């Protein structure tokens, strides 16, 4: 690839998405910063440009079809091509037992997390194919691999996302597009703030995790960089668990 790769990262105004965008920009990618809030995306893009990288900000709610189309069109307009997509944004409006999950909340979770990822993947496919192939990386969760008493519906969406990775790997492989996922364990971001505010839960996680600590956004950003990069050229349809080892203990 002669030109610098162009990579869209959804949900990159903070947390794992931001860490991935900053790492990829530092490694020479031209990055598209995206979340529902244009101003916070602009701030991240500005910080990346300030550090010598290349970035644009395009707000997009992953549950809204027209905004997904505008994200793809805006990327092509800004950079002329798309090489990689990181499907990182996700919704989880419910915390608690599954009888707290009404139809509306369930629909939001499944629509944003699963259908939004499916739709955006199809929108970028011809562009990545036209650029000679590339990678789609989905940020899943160990909540899609294990039973969970408090984020069960979200876990169901992550399990569906894992299957989406396998299906798209089959469908996109002929275009030279690799599709893989990373399933993080607990990572210190706004998303996990409620859990991390509980000191007892944090101590429990640290004690249960073989590597003895809570994950940081950079721990996942590095796996994402591996999955878009040439070192994973022979990987497709895989979900890499990156959790400090907690799943081998049987979970939480
Ligand atoms: P975070 O720090 O809360 O960041 C979430 C990002 O997504 C923000 O940029 C947010 O910006 C954006 N976003 C939220 N809803 C969106 C929507 N509907 N459309 C577009 N953008 C949206 O969360 P995170 O922990 O980095 O989570 C990123 C991914 O990691 C998610 O897929 C999550 O399921 C997964 N994950 C996280 C953990 C963890 O412990 N943190 C563990 C396993 C998996 P706006 O609010 O401005 O839109």
Q: What is the pLDDT of residues 92-110, one digit of tens each?
A: 999 999 998 999 999 999 9
- DSSP category for residue 251: -
Give the pLDDT mean for 197-216.
Answer: 94
Q: What's the confidence (pLDDT) of residue 233?
A: 98
Task: Of 86, 205, 197, give the one whose Cα is nearest residue 142.
Answer: 205
> What residues line ligand 1, using a CB cutoff of 6 Å?
10-17, 35-37, 40, 60-63, 88-91, 112, 139, 141, 184, 186-187, 189-192
Q: What angle do CA 136, 24, 49 make, to 5 degrees?
A: 130
Q: What's the confidence (pLDDT) of residue 1?
A: 47
What is the Å distance from ligand 1's center to 92 Cα? 9
Q: What's the confidence (pLDDT) of residue 252?
A: 64
CA dist 211 and 214 (Å) reads: 9
Give the pLDDT mean for 65-86.
Answer: 98
Give the pLDDT mean for 212-239.
Answer: 98
Task: Name the H helices within 37-102.
Answer: 38-50, 65-79
Q: What's the confidence (pLDDT) of residue 171?
A: 98
pLDDT bracket for residue 250 (50, 70, 90): confident
Q: What's the confidence (pLDDT) of residue 144?
A: 97
- pLDDT score of 44 more than 80: yes
Residue 172 belongs to what H/E stretch? helix 152-172
Taking the CA of residue 37 as reference, the ligand 1 atom at the shortest distance is: 47
- pLDDT score of 251 more than 80: no
Q: Indicate which residue's Cα is closest to atom 31 of ligand 1.
A: 90
pLDDT tens track for 116-175? 999 999 999 999 999 999 999 999 999 999 999 999 999 999 999 999 999 999 999 999
| Residue ranges of domains in the chain | 6-188+216-240
Give the pLDDT mean for 216-237.
Answer: 98
61, 13 Cβ separation under 8 angstroms = no
Give the pLDDT mean for 46-63.
Answer: 98
Q: What's the confidence (pLDDT) of residue 85?
A: 99
Task: Give me Rg for the CA atoms of the chain.
Answer: 17
Pocket test for ligand 1, best of 13, 15, 195 (most atoms within 8 A of CB): 15
Percent of the chain with pLDDT over 70: 98
Is 3.40.50.720 the CATH number for 6-188+216-240? yes
The residue from 48, 67, 154, 191 that is catalytic is 154
- Contacts for 175-178: CB closer than 8 Å, 24+ residues apart: 175/125, 175/128, 175/129, 175/133, 176/129, 176/132, 176/133, 176/134, 177/125, 177/128, 177/129, 177/133, 177/134, 177/135, 177/136, 178/133, 178/134, 178/135, 178/136, 178/227, 178/232, 178/233, 178/235, 178/236
| Per-residue exposure over 51-82, b if at least 16 CB sit within 10 Å of its own CB, e if not | eebbbbbbbbbbbbeebbeebbebbeeebebb
Task: Of 250, 248, 246, give the one whose Cα is nearest residue 219.
Answer: 246
Give the pLDDT mean for 223-230.
Answer: 98
21, 44 Cβ separation under 8 angstroms = yes
pLDDT bracket for residue 27 (50, 70, 90): very high
Q: What's the confidence (pLDDT) of residue 2?
A: 60
Provide the mean pLDDT of the chain. 96
57, 42 Cβ separation under 8 angstroms = yes
Q: How crowded is the C-beta side of 187, counted as CA atoms within 13 Å?
A: 26
- pLDDT score of 67 more than 60: yes
Question: Is 95 a residue of the active site?
Answer: no
Pocket test for ligand 1, best of 8, 9, 10, 11 (most atoms within 8 A of CB): 11
């Amino acid at each position: 690839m002669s030109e610098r790769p162009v990579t869209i990262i959804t949900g990159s105004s903070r947390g794992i998405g931001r860490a991935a965008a900053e790492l990829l920009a530092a490694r020479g990618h031209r990055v598209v910063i995206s979340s529902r809030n244009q101003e916070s995306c602009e701030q991240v893009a500005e910080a990346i440009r300030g550090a010598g990288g290349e970035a644009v900000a395009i707000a997009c709610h992953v549950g809204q079809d027209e905004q997904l189309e505008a994200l793809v069109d805006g990327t092509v307009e800004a950079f002329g091509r798309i090489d990689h997509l990181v499907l990182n944004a996700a919704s989880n409006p419910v915390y608690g037992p599954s009888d707290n999950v009404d139809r509306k909340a369930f629909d939001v979770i499944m629509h944003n997390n699963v259908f939004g990822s499916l739709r955006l993947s199809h929108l970028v496919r011809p562009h990545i194919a036209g650029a000679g192939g590339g990678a789609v990386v989905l940020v899943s969760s160990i909540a899609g691999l294990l039973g969970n008493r408090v984020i069960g519906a979200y876990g169901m969406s992550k399990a569906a996302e894992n299957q989406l990775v396998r299906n798209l790997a089959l469908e996109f492989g002929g275009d030279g597009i690799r599709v893989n996922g990373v399933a993080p364990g607990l990572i210190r971001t706004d998303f996990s703030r409620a859990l991390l505010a509980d000191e007892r839960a944090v101590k429990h996680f640290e004690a249960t995790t073989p590597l003895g600590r809570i994950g940081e956004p950079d721990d996942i950003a590095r796996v994402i960089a591996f999955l878009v990069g040439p070192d994973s050229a022979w990987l497709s349809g895989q979900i890499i668990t990156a959790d400090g080892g907690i799943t081998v203990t049987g979970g939480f």
